[in-house]
């Protein structure tokens, strides 16, 4: 800003300097002509001021861009997973929703793993978040989990890619590499199949009068990473979010830009297959899980970025 002020005062000075000779000539000009001339000069003065001010502004902006980001320094970036149901904010346990099969339901739990985050800069360079800091369990009932923060090199980012779930390699690692969000005995306790050694990638539970289960519950626990020794179903999904349309993320030390994603959980029900709670009230490790995984991959939409 200081720089801009200096340039503005310089412009003022130039205009004043230009004005001086006009003032000298003023007495010898006809009265009516004088008024016209004054008017023209006033406009010219303004135009000149605007032109010089604007160019100086552009100049200062451009200069800032070059100096502003230091790719050697990392700064925080927040990714907000704002879970919704259709066009409304998701309300656990209270609100009633209707899916494409006209089934009324309530949601009591929504959790999913986001991992292996990769970011693309405006110049095309790619930054892969170190894997050990790249596993997040988003849990609608825990507000602190909804906006994970990652540290990335300063710069302007146009794309975020991540895996919805826990990659197959990590699913086979020893205990020392299953800490934090991945601790099957702690944070990930409800997101791990002890009998089938693998993480649950996505979990939605709720109730619906159309469910034939006890207490009308429905449960969708979707996992399966492809198998340890024998190949099996792989429900790992890659999600790609383009930020260039609704606001790139400008990462710079001193602030925490927030990429605000709307995560429409209704898409788990409605999509390539319209999932019916009456017909498939409980889906876990079965072939049908692939249909649900195909649907929920489309939940994520970039809304805006708060820089």
Partner 1 sequence: MKLRNGIYLLFLTFFILACKKDFVQLFEGFQKPSNFPEPVYKFQHNIITKPGFELGRKLFFDPILSLDNTISCASCHIPTSAFTQHGHNVSHGINDLLGTRNSPPIMNLAWSNSFMWDGGIADLDLQPIAPITNHVEMGESMTNVLTKLKNNSTYKPLFKAAFGSEEVSNINVLKALSQFMLMCVSADSKYDSVMRNQKSFSIEEKAGYVLFQNKCNSCHKEPLFTDNSFRNNGIQPSNIDDIGRELITLLPTDKYKFKVPSLRNLEYTAPYMHDGRFLNLDAVLDHYNKQVIPTSNLDPLLLSNGFTGVSLTADEKRNLLSFLNTLNDRKFITNPLIAEQ
The site for partner 1, by CB under 8 A, has a size of 27
Check residue 141 for interaction with partner 1 (CB under 8 A): no
Closest distance to partner 1 from the beta carbon of 184 (Å): 6
214 binds partner 1 (CB under 8 A): no
Asked if residue 194 binds partner 1 (CB under 8 A), the reply is yes
Q: Which range of residues in 57-65, 91-99, 279-287, 299-307 is near partner 1 by CB under 8 A?
A: 279-287
Interaction between residue 184 and partner 1 (CB under 8 A): yes
What's the min distance (Å) between Cβ of 283 and partner 1? Answer: 12
Torsion of CA 135, 139, 144, 150, to 10 degrees: 20
Q: How far is the CB of 198 from partner 1 (least distance, A)?
A: 9
Task: State the maximum Cα–Cα separation within the chain, in Å, rounded to a whole number.
Answer: 101
Tell me if 234 sits within 8 A of 168, measured CB to CB: yes
For residues 66, 70, 76 and 82, what is the CA-based torsion angle, rounded to 10 degrees? 30
Is residue 243 a contact partner of residue 157, using CB atoms and an 8 Å limit?
yes
Q: How near is the Cβ of 193 to partner 1 at its closest, in Å?
A: 8
Residue placing its CB nearer to partner 1 in the complex, 123 or 174: 174
| CA distance to 140, 200, 210, per residue, from 284 (Å) | 20, 9, 19
DSSP reduced 3-state for 181: helix
Candidates 156, 151, 105; CA nearest to 132 is: 151
| Candidate ranges 78-86, 101-109, 148-156, 175-183; the one touching partner 1 (CB under 8 A) | 175-183
CA gap 169, 201 in Å, rounded? 14
> Cβ closer to partner 1: 196 or 301?
196
> Interaction with partner 1 in 62-121: which residues (CB under 8 A)?
none
Rule CB under 8 A: is residue 186 a binding residue for partner 1? yes
Binding of partner 1 at residue 24 (CB under 8 A)? no
Integer Cα distance of 234 and 283 in angstroms = 15
195's tokens: 């009998």
Of 35, 44, 95, 189, the residue at the interface with partner 1 (CB under 8 A) is 189
Q: Is 217 in the site for partner 1 (CB under 8 A)?
A: no
Using the rule CB under 8 A, is 253 a contact of partner 1? no
Name which of 78, 81, 93, 80 is nearest 265 in CA terms.
Answer: 81
Closest contact distance (angstroms) between CB of 225 and partner 1 is 12
Residue 5 has a CB neighbour count (10 Å cut-off) of 9
Contact residues for partner 1 (CB under 8 A)? 172, 174-176, 179, 183-186, 189, 192-197, 224, 227-233, 285-287
């Amino acid at each position: 800003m200081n720089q801009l002020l200096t340039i503005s005062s310089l412009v003022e000075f130039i205009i004043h300097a230009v004005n001086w000779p006009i003032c000298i000539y003023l007495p010898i000009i006809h009265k009516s002509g004088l008024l016209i001339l004054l008017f023209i000069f006033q406009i010219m003065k303004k135009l000149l001021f605007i032109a010089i001010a604007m160019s100086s502004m552009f100049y200062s902006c451009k200069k800032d861009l070059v100096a502003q980001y230091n790719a050697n320094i990392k700064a925080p970036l927040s990714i907000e997973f704002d879970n919704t149901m259709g066009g409304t904010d998701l309300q656990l346990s209270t609100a009633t929703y209707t899916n494409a099969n006209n089934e009324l339901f309530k949601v009591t739990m929504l959790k999913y793993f986001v991992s292996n985050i990769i970011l693309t800069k405006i110049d095309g360079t790619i930054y892969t978040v170190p894997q050990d800091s790249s596993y997040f369990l988003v849990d609608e009932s825990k507000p602190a989990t909804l906006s994970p923060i990652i540290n990335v090199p300063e710069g302007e980012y146009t794309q975020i890619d991540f895996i919805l779930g826990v990659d197959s390699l990590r699913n086979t690692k020893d205990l020392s590499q299953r800490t934090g969000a991945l601790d099957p005995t702690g944070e990930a306790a409800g997101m791990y199949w002890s009998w089938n050694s693998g993480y649950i990638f996505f979990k939605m539970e709720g109730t619906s009068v159309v469910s034939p289960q006890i207490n009308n519950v429905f449960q969708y626990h979707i996992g399966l990473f492809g198998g340890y020794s024998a190949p099996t179903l792989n429900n790992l999904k890659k999600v790609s979010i383009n930020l260039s349309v609704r606001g790139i993320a400008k990462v710079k030390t001193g602030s925490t830009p927030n990429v605000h994603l709307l995560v429409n959980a209704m898409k788990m029900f409605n999509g390539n297959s319209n999932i019916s709670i009456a017909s498939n009230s409980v889906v876990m490790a079965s072939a049908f899980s692939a249909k649900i995984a195909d649907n929920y991959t489309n939940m994520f939409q970039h809304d805006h970025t708060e820089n």
